[in-house]
């Protein structure tokens, strides 16, 4: 394992239908990874890694103008940032509504990234800046519980109707917050039909991964109250409350 790389083998236990993907932002060209041989939108690239394995993308690999914009590879386009495009697509009522999102989305500093590397979690040759997990609700619940298991941290889901890729790739990295997204809610990804609707995307920044992994190794994944039904759950809760009350009287 290379310096700074983290052991992600605990994620094998989930048996995900679509593998988690590590993403890294690079100034220099990565070693030992092939360049993508096609043009794709940034929002499509982690699925490409799930399907085809590790690769890196340079500026000429981005088919959509938004990717290079939020990665700091290109200057802002006034046609987009003035809000002119959204109303034409039927996404916003007018340009005023559309342009607000450009004050909310996260971007990386200009010219700080020249390449973006992608790899399935079990084929990583680099320490990921973010890990994108494609999960069902049960799998997501376990990971979110692991995030807050030792610190009570709340989980968050942030996004905008368009430029969902900023909330998937950039916001978690710059904020240090895990972000929850649901496929089917984001204009570009929905229009490109990248995934079926209703999957949960968890975008996890590098600094949260060690704690989540540690908690996944320690905690009980399948809680019995999820399996026994309402009445059993109510009975157990009452019993716990009664036992605690008795302990306080001692």
CB 64 within 8 A of CB 42: yes
| Alpha carbons 147 and 141: distance in angstroms, whole number | 10
Looking at residue 227, its pLDDT comes to 87
pLDDT tens for the chain, 250 residues long, are 455 678 999 999 999 999 999 999 999 999 999 999 999 999 999 999 999 999 999 999 999 999 999 999 999 888 989 999 999 999 999 999 999 999 999 999 999 999 999 999 999 999 999 999 999 999 999 999 999 999 999 999 999 999 999 999 999 999 999 999 999 999 999 999 999 999 999 999 999 999 999 999 999 999 988 888 888 888 988 988 988 888 888 7
Output the furthest CA–CA distance in the chain (Å, rounded).
Answer: 71
CB 67 within 8 A of CB 131: no
Looking at residue 247, its pLDDT comes to 86
| Alpha carbons 82 and 100: distance in angstroms, whole number | 9
Question: What per-residue string of b and e applies to 78-90 under the rule 16 or more CB within 10 Å gives b?
Answer: eebeebebbeeee
Looking at residue 249, its pLDDT comes to 85
> Which of 123, 121, 120, 75 lies closest to 102, judged by CA?
75
What are the start-end ranges of the E strands in the chain? Answer: 21-26, 55-58, 115-120, 130-135, 179-182, 200-205
Looking at residue 1, its pLDDT comes to 45
> Which of 75, 173, 161, 181 lies closest to 116, judged by CA?
173
């Amino acid at each position: 394992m290379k310096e700074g790389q983290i052991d992600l083998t605990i994620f094998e236990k989930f048996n995900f239908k679509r593998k988690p993907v590590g993403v890294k932002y690079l100034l220099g060209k990565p070693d030992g990874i092939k360049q993508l041989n096609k043009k794709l939108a940034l929002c499509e690239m982690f699925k490409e890694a799930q399907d085809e394995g590790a690769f890196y993308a340079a500026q000429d690999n981005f088919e959509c103008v938004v990717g290079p914009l939020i990665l700091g590879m290109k200057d802002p386009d006034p046609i987009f940032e003035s809000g002119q495009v959204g109303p034409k697509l039927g996404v916003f009522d007018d340009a005023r509504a559309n342009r607000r999102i450009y004050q909310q989305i996260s971007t990386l500093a200009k010219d700080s990234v020249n390449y973006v590397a992608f790899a399935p979690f079990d084929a990583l040759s680099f320490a990921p800046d973010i890990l994108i997990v494609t999960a069902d609700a049960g799998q997501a619940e376990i990971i979110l519980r692991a995030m807050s298991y030792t610190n009570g941290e709340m989980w968050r889901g942030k996004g905008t109707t368009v430029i969902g890729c900023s909330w998937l790739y950039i916001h978690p990295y710059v904020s240090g917050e895990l972000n929850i997204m649901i496929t089917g809610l984001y204009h570009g990804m929905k229009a490109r039909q990248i995934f079926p609707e209703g999957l949960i995307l968890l975008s996890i920044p590098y600094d949260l991964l060690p704690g989540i992994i540690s908690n996944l190794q320690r905690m009980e994944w399948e809680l019995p109250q999820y399996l026994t039904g309402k009445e059993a759950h109510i009975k157990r809760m009452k019993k716990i409350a009664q036992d605690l009350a008795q302990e306080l009287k001692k």
